[in-house]
Amino acid sequence: MSHSDPSVPALFTPFRIGDIAIRNRIVMAPLTRNRATHGNDAPNALNVEYYRQRASAGLIITEGTQVSQQGQGYVWTPGMYTPEQIAGWKAITDAVHAEGGKIVAQLWHVGRVSHVSLQPGGQAPVAPSARVANTKTYIASGFAAVSPPRALTLDEIPAIIGEFVSAAENAKAAGFDGIELHGAHGYLIDQFLRDDSNTRSDAYGGSIENRVRFALEVVDAVSKVFSKGRVGIRISPVSPANDARDSDPQALFMHLVTKLSEASIAFIHVVEGATREARDYLPFDYGALRKTFKGAYIANNGFTRELAIETIENGSADAIAFGRLFIANPDLVERLRRNAPLNTPVVETFYGGDATGYTDYPALAEQAA
């Protein structure tokens, strides 16, 4: 069906996010599932099947994928820094591409949201400043309070940017269509952005201009690996996830998004409101971000079919990302298209485990049978 068919909502029509042509405007959001191979954090055959099942999404954004062991904050999350991990991801991109899908890797450094049991040599996690996040992480024994971090020294920052570059090179080798930087939910990039977690007095702290410096340097560095038309970033202006707070999020994110637009990257992926909670959690003008950024705007958080269709029709976003609904509905695109009933996600099987609650959710055809 063509764009011009008025009976087909624009949500289900093709679009281009930068240099990435997608067949519909439904995006699978990044979802941490803690099912990488124990011992080497490489993707495995079960992960291949999970992503293959969901390849009808216009674009898949992978689960957060740590750029180094230091960047890991949760047990059994996949990495993008060893040959085994790259090979595991290559099997996933091949499977998604064989189904006609597109997939980008979400590159992740958790910063202070980690635990000594996950860090190289049991070291303290790193952060912009030595401030402990009031949050928990997930380790082999279950949920645990995060470990106190130490502040990165000025001369360590280039090496962290280098880890993002290496991970981008590895993602390219693994066949990804692009990358998304995880700049949301209180992880390292977000920690630099916010005046509550960043109390530095050097070039990376203090003013908004200084606090966005790290994010923009990472964007610039990875844009030399993938073309700018294949690079995006996820942000969550007001979400309190992992103790992320700032005294003036509107000013901070308007400045950041202005600079991201000048950098000509493909997309911003915006968590509107509090993740897993209210879309109007705090007052924030997302329309202003939308107007400021000249690339694609992917909206996320709490979208229903109706709200997604309306948001695309009224021009408030270019694509809509769904998270939990994709966990439970491998064929979410088809279900939304038909307005068919949706499977309910089982929260108890979100993190860790096996195929149960991961690759065993039925598609419509199986349910009918």
Catalytic residues: 187
- CA 7 distance to own-chain centroid: 32
The CA angle 43-47-52, to the nearest 5 degrees, is 130
Distance separating alpha carbons of residues 161 and 231, to the nearest angstrom: 15
**CB contact at 8 A, 279 and 293:** no
The strand pair at 136-139 and 178-182 is best described as unpaired
The answer to whether 173 and 76 have CB atoms below 8 angstroms apart is: no
Q: Across the strands, what pairs with 64?
A: 106
Q: What is the Cα gyration radius of the chain? A: 19
Task: Quote the CA–CA distance of 62 and 49 in Å, as a whole number.
Answer: 13
Q: Which residue has the tokens 């976003």?
A: 317
Phi, psi of 57 (to 5 degrees): -55, 145
